[in-house]
Amino acid sequence: MTELTRNFRRARVADLPRILELIECGRQKMRAAGNNEQWTNGQPSQEVIEEDIRLGESYVMTENGKVVVTFAFKPGPDVTYAKIYEGKWLDDVKPYYVVHRLASAPGVRGVLKDVLNFCFSHTDNIRIDTHRQNVVMRHALEKYGFRYCGIIYLLDGAERLAFQSCKSVAITEQSSNYDNLEQMSVVELLHHINEEDYRVAEAVKLAIPQIQAFVEAVEERMKLGGRLFYIGAGTSGRLGVLDASELPPTFGVSDTKVIGLIAGGDRALRHAVEKAEDMPEQGWLDLQPYHPTANDTVLGIAASGTTPYVVGVVRLARLNGLLTGCITSNPHTPLAQTSDFPIETIVGPEFVTGSSRMKSGTAQKMVLNMISTTLMVRMGRVQGNRMVNMQLTNAKLVDRGTRMVQDMLGLSYEEAQQRLLEAGSVDEACHY
């Protein structure tokens, strides 16, 4: 396979026909997606592009010398932004640059990432707009650390969603999309929280390829006798302990198969332990009583992706040959950089600014459910769709197990219950 060489440069007058061709490709893609009106309203004229080239504000990306991407990259303020009528910019003081008219040739992949990396090499403060219907672009911008700021009108009347880069402020620490919460009614608060929660499932869905890669790597080690350690601080640690503690009764596995550790120890499950998360070496020390081996896996959980306790244990675990992964709600964090398999669920700013127990915590719980349930199914702890290895720890579970045996073997309720109690599990009752 021929290795592609990508380069960026300012556009030249000779590039104009190719730039117009790429913009037309973009128009066709939007038409195919049913967004003809939005794209047509914002279609740049040849005169505008010529002016960008003259000012040195039109750029192209080449692959092996051929122009495959075009975009405008210019310092603000940008006169094409007539007004922003909903929301506000994150920072109207710092100098900023605007990215406009991004278009690419068919089949060219990784365009946005490469273009943004080029732009970020010049400035941290970037504004970019996209069509309301372009959901893929919106998710991609959020993944790369951009924050939705509001709706804007361009001078030609086109409506756009406006985004601004937030490289200087972690997404989990950014200001909420809502303000004056104390002035809202109960129903307003509930609806707005629910609106924000809709973003969580979308963010988790986008992370499925990362989750898949992690689960497949863990499965290999578990089948060799390896264990999975969840390690976190605060809410993240509590969620890890919760998920691990539910697996023995649900799937009948040993409580040493998946283990949850929290900074500050079990006391931290109910009470805040001062400065427990600030000690980068402590997590690895907390792991030592379990005698970790190369077949084990450490999953660090931290919404910020910067918690010293979690970053420290993942770094040391990796240095000592353990498989490592993480769950974080910020992109490109120290925790992700030190993990073999980072999982990034970019849920956006919290409803209450900085309260990562909300959307970030919900995303963590969803991902943990996906990881542990998939592993248990793959390890043979589920038959059909039934928890055939669940522990019979109360009357409700005995009744559930009895009905499973009754259904699977065609016995009466009394016969099924007697067989279940003698065998100790649904699986054993159906196979002895």
Catalytically active residues are 246, 277
Among left, alpha and beta (phi > 0; psi -120 to 50; other), residue 413 is alpha
Q: Terminal CA-to-CA distance of the chain, rounded, Å?
A: 56
Q: Which two tokens stand for residue 413?
A: 């309720």
**Element spanning 96, H or E:** none
Q: Is 207 buried (19+), middle (13-18) or exposed (0-12) by CB count in 10 A? A: buried
Q: What residue spans of 270-307 are helical by DSSP H?
A: 282-287
Tell me how far CA of residue 40 lies from CA of 34, 52, 70, 429, in angstroms: 12, 20, 18, 67
DSSP string spanning 186-206? HHHHHHHHHHHHHHHHHHHHH
Contact of 73 with 59, CB cutoff 8 Å: yes
Contact of 296 with 266, CB cutoff 8 Å: no
Give the dihedral sign, CA 13/17/18/21: positive
Residue type (1 letter), 117: N
- Sequence-separated (6 or more) residues with CB below 8 Å from residue 163: 127, 128, 129, 130, 138, 141, 146, 147, 148, 149
Q: How many residues does the chain have?
A: 432
Contact of 320 with 292, CB cutoff 8 Å: yes
Q: Which two tokens stand for residue 47?
A: 């005169």
User: Can you tell me the distance from the alpha carbon of 172 to that of 349, in angstroms, rounded to the nearest whole number?
Assistant: 5
- Nearest Cα neighbor of 318 from 302, 344, 343, 342 is 342
